[in-house]
Amino acid sequence: MANYPPKLQEYLDDFGFISSREDRVDFLIDIADEFQPVPDTIASKPYDEARRVIGCESEAFVWAIDRPDGTLDFYFDVLNPQGLSAMAMSAILDQACSGAPLDQVAAINGEVVFTFFGKDISMGKGRGLTELINAVVYQARQRLHSD
Amino acid sequence: MSEISSRGYANADKLVSTAWVAQHLNDADVRVIESNEDPLLYPSGHVPGAVEVDWVKDLNDPLRRDYLDKSGFEALASRIGITPETTAVFYGDKSNWWATYALWVFELFGHSNSKIMDGGRLKWVEEERELTREKPSVSPTSYNAPERDDSQIRAFRDGVLSHIGADGQLVDVRSPGEFAGDLLHIPGYPQEGAVRGGHIPGASSCPWSRAANDDDTFKDAAQLRAIYNDELGLDSSAPTIAYCRIGERSSHTWFVLTYLLGFSDVRNYDGSWTEWGNSVGLPIEK
């Protein structure tokens, strides 16, 4: 089993127990309700296009800010007000990856998106959410390789 | 005269405003139906009393690339509490792509008593109208549907091949990059879904979005005629086929041509580029 950030593993375990589509959707909506867009102290609109998640139709942006302990704080925004799935995924990544050991963040496989959203998610949305995860993983790997 | 009826559409009664929907929330003869790409949107808050029709699990056969059959449609209609007399009002995300798609599938079963809420979900939300997470209590109905009729408004691969052989009108509603073959999917989406890029020979390029205003409402009839009749040179009385990648964006254009402009014979090719671009032996242009 991959050595993921504990909070991510906790979410994966929780979603692994879900068998009904309705329960999955309700859980994801609860998580999406916790989504907090990037504060003005970190970034303001119009955002730097370098922060855009390529391939995410919901217009997601990701920032990684270094912490003194060598880990990262992740911040997100989702410009499409109807991008609820991207907001849920962003909230999970924020809670799971901010302050987590970089090697654990770097080890995340984008396919965990299907554990969260189920295998019947549309191809475009599934890939877009995977790219959101990959954007976080990329930041962690970049920091690891710069050491 | 309502604002919509003043826009000059051929069938203005197929389109209703958000205000009209707000006034008919408790009308027993009206069923409001939300259809989205994002499965989280409806449960996160919907028009009070609205039911959900999911394009994947409700409209498609689970094992064939095809739509549900007569019994499947009857079961769906019963679940959402409609009869053939019910006015079905569709709305949804993505500028009403999936709403027009669902309306089109319902019409394959003869349910033509249907409308689109102009501006879709986004307009309803931006007007700060009421949303609820409470699912409506729906009494199951009995719906005796006809067999699905694919002959009038649905196009298939071989029919498209014959159509282009006769120099028929064909509208590619994808983005210019997809039409040119530079992209295999909508810009910003993962580039997959077909082994070849390009378009069906003879197709005119007219992205679906040209029919929509920034707030997701439809442009008025004069603006639409300027695009489809004048610029593209389409003949309203000639057989016309619209296509995109999987048939959802072209449902939007099918609705525009059929109901807003009154074209007499428009079919949606739902196989679209995922079928044509992958099929052995079919010609393409770039």
Question: What is the predicted ipTM?
Answer: 0.79
**Could you tell me if B148 and B182 are in contact, meaning their C-beta atoms sit under 8 angstroms apart?**
no
Domain limits at A57?
A: 6-146
A67 located within any domain: yes
CATH code for the domain in which residue A98 is found? 3.90.1010.10
Upper half-sphere CA count for residue A112 (Cβ side, 13 Å) = 26
Q: In chain B, whose CA is at the least distance from the CA of A33? A: B44
What is the Cα–Cα distance from A119 to B109, expressed in whole angstroms? 29
What is the Cα–Cα distance from A105 to A136, expressed in whole angstroms? 8
Catalytic residue among B244, B256, B260, B261: B244
Q: In chain B, what residues touch A120 (CB-CB under 8 Å)?
A: 56-57
User: Which stretches of chain A score pLDDT less than 70?
Assistant: 1-2, 147
Q: What are phi and psi of B126, to 5 degrees?
A: -70, -25
Q: Calculate the alpha carbon distances from B24 to A135, B16, B60, B121, B132 in Å.
A: 45, 11, 29, 16, 16
Q: What are phi and psi of A73, to 5 degrees?
A: -100, 130
Strand B15-16 versus strand A72-78 pairing type: unpaired
Of A25, A54, A128, the CB nearest to B39: A25
A1 located within any domain: no
**Could you tell me if B185 and A122 are in contact, meaning their C-beta atoms sit under 8 angstroms apart?**
no
Edge-to-edge strand list for the sheet holding B204-205: B154-155, B266-269, B240-243, B169-172, B204-205
Helix axes A6-16, A84-97, angle to 10 degrees: 130
What secondary structure letter does DSSP report for B208? Answer: G
Cα angle for residues B13, B19, B23 (degrees, 5° grid) = 90
Instruction: Quote the minimal CA–CA distance from B189 to chain A in Å.
Output: 5
**Are residues A127 and B189, on separate chains, in Cβ contact within 8 Å?**
yes
Q: Which helix (H) or strand (E) holds A95?
A: helix A84-97
Which pLDDT belongs to residue B125? Answer: 95
Interface test with A, best of B79, B189, B249, B273 (most A CBs within 10 A): B189
Which pLDDT belongs to residue B152? Answer: 98
Q: In chain B, whose CA is at the least distance from the CA of A54? A: B188
- Asked if B41 is an interface residue toward chain A (Cβ–Cβ < 8 A), one would say yes
Of A21, A84, A123, the CB nearest to B38: A84
Instruction: Quote the minimal CA–CA distance from B188 to chain A in Å.
Output: 5
- Asked if B183 is an interface residue toward chain A (Cβ–Cβ < 8 A), one would say no
A86 located within any domain: yes
Q: In chain B, what residues touch A121 (CB-CB under 8 Å)?
A: 39
**Are residues B190 and A127, on separate chains, in Cβ contact within 8 Å?**
yes
The answer, yes or no, to whether the previous bond of B239 is cis (omega within 30 of 0) is no
Q: Which residues contact A102 (CB under 8 A, 6 or more apart)?
A: A70, A71, A72, A140, A143, A144
Interface test with B, best of A82, A114, A133 (most B CBs within 10 A): A82
Interface of A with B in 48-87 (CB under 8 A): 54-57, 81-85
**Could you tell me if A126 and A86 are in contact, meaning their C-beta atoms sit under 8 angstroms apart?**
no
- Asked if A23 is an interface residue toward chain B (Cβ–Cβ < 8 A), one would say no
Q: Which helix (H) or strand (E) holds A85?
A: helix A84-97
Total tally of structural domains belonging to chain A: 1
Domains and CATH numbers, chain B: 5-126 (3.40.250.10), 154-276 (3.40.250.10)
**Are residues A82 and B43, on separate chains, in Cβ contact within 8 Å?**
no
User: Which stretches of chain B score pLDDT less than 70?
Assistant: 1, 185-193
Q: Give pTM, 2 decimals.
A: 0.90
Q: B117 has which bridge partners?
A: B16
Helices (H), chain B: 18-23, 41-44, 70-79, 97-108, 120-126, 157-165, 176-180, 221-225, 249-255, 272-276
At B132, is the secondary structure helix, strand, or coil? strand
- Asked if A18 is an interface residue toward chain B (Cβ–Cβ < 8 A), one would say no
Token representation of residue A144: 């690891």
Q: In chain B, what residues touch A122 (CB-CB under 8 Å)?
A: 37, 56
**Could you tell me if B40 and A29 are in contact, meaning their C-beta atoms sit under 8 angstroms apart?**
yes
Of B43, B56, B121, the CB nearest to A82: B121
What is the Cα–Cα distance from B49 to B135, expressed in whole angstroms? 7
Annotation marks residue B206 as catalytic: no
Which pLDDT belongs to residue B189? Answer: 58
Q: What is the CA radius of gyration of chain A?
A: 14
Which pLDDT belongs to residue A132? Answer: 96
Helices (H), B181-276: 221-225, 249-255, 272-276
Q: Which helix (H) or strand (E) holds A106?
A: helix A102-106
Which pLDDT belongs to residue A88? Answer: 97
Which pLDDT belongs to residue B195? Answer: 86
- Asked if B185 is an interface residue toward chain A (Cβ–Cβ < 8 A), one would say yes
Q: Calculate the alpha carbon distances from B87 to B32, B135, B284 in Å.
A: 8, 19, 41
